[in-house]
Chain A
Amino acid sequence: NAGVMQNPRHLVRRRGQEARLRCSPMKGHSHVYWYRQLPEEGLKFMVYLQKENIIDESGMPKERFSAEFPKEGPSILRIQQVVRGDSAAYFCASSPVGGANNEQFFGPGTRLTVL
């Protein structure tokens, strides 16, 4: 059973470009969480999605950031017009259920560098 997959593993963008990060949850998991980790810091929650629905986007900046988890295919975190401050590691985690028993399994992350 493959774990959570993320691609690309490394992404370099120039300021103003778009970054598109993909996350394929574990088989049978329908809940996806995105977290951002700045260098030398802990993980900060960004957004929680179920298939075709955004459940909680309270940690995601209101501008330039968006996320989706379509019925078919991976979850996508999209950052438009990237700035240097967006440079970070972005992790997604998946869970088979939501709620109190939502043990989360993390992917290897995408390391975004904005030049």
Chain B
Amino acid sequence: QQQVKQSPQSLIVQKGGISIINCAYENTAFDYFPWYQQFPGKGPALLIAIRPDVSEKKEGRFTISFNKSAKQFSLHIMDSQPGDSATYFCAANDRSGTYKYIFGTGTRLKVLA
């Protein structure tokens, strides 16, 4: 119940294409869902986040789609660029406890030039 399942493990996209990364959870106490971007040797950086009272949030080329009934959420990167090549992590914040983050296992994205 404390897991966040993330897929795919790796993804290769052509420049200008759409990258889609999916996450699923079981625990209904999760109520905040951030996405982090991590470059090699660096710490995770917050990209975009959503709460379950909205179904979609868009910031620039990044969009989160949220399906509360299915307990799924996804990150869409439009017009993917080589500079987007990084590892992406979804996470969830458990309001039934101390709001620590539960992270997915990560998706390594490579955008081909």
A104 and B45 CA atoms in complex are apart in Å by: 9
Contacts of A98 in B (CB 8 A): 98-99
Q: Chain B interface secondary structure, helix, strand, loop or mixed?
A: loop
Q: Does B89 contact A (CB under 8 A)?
A: yes
* Contact pattern, A 26-58, Cβ under 8 Å of B = 1, otherwise 0: 000000010100000111110010000001100
- Select which of A44, A100, A108 is within 8 A of B99 by beta carbon: A100
For chain B, the bracket of interface size reads 20 to 34
Q: Report yes or no: A45 in contact with B100, Cβ–Cβ below 8 A.
A: yes
Contacts of B45 in A (CB 8 A): 106
Q: Report yes or no: A56 in contact with B98, Cβ–Cβ below 8 A.
A: yes
Contacts of A8 in B (CB 8 A): none
A100 and B109 CA atoms in complex are apart in Å by: 30
Q: Report yes or no: B43 in contact with A102, Cβ–Cβ below 8 A.
A: no
Contacts of B56 in A (CB 8 A): none
Q: How many residues of A contact B (CB 8 A)?
A: 26
Q: Does A91 contact B (CB under 8 A)?
A: yes
A21 to chain B, nearest CB (A): 13
Q: Does B46 contact A (CB under 8 A)?
A: yes
Q: Report yes or no: B46 in contact with A103, Cβ–Cβ below 8 A.
A: yes
Contacts of B89 in A (CB 8 A): 42-43
B45, B103, B104, most chain A CB atoms within 10 A: B103
Q: Does B18 contact A (CB under 8 A)?
A: no
Q: Beyond the given A41-B106, A98-B99, could you list 17 further A-B residue pairs with CB under 8 A, ordered by the A residue number?
A: A33-B101, A41-B105, A42-B89, A42-B104, A43-B89, A43-B101, A44-B103, A48-B98, A56-B98, A99-B99, A100-B93, A100-B95, A102-B93, A103-B34, A103-B46, A105-B46, A106-B44
B binding-site residues for A, Cβ under 8 Å: 6, 31-32, 34, 36, 42-46, 49, 89, 93, 95, 97-106
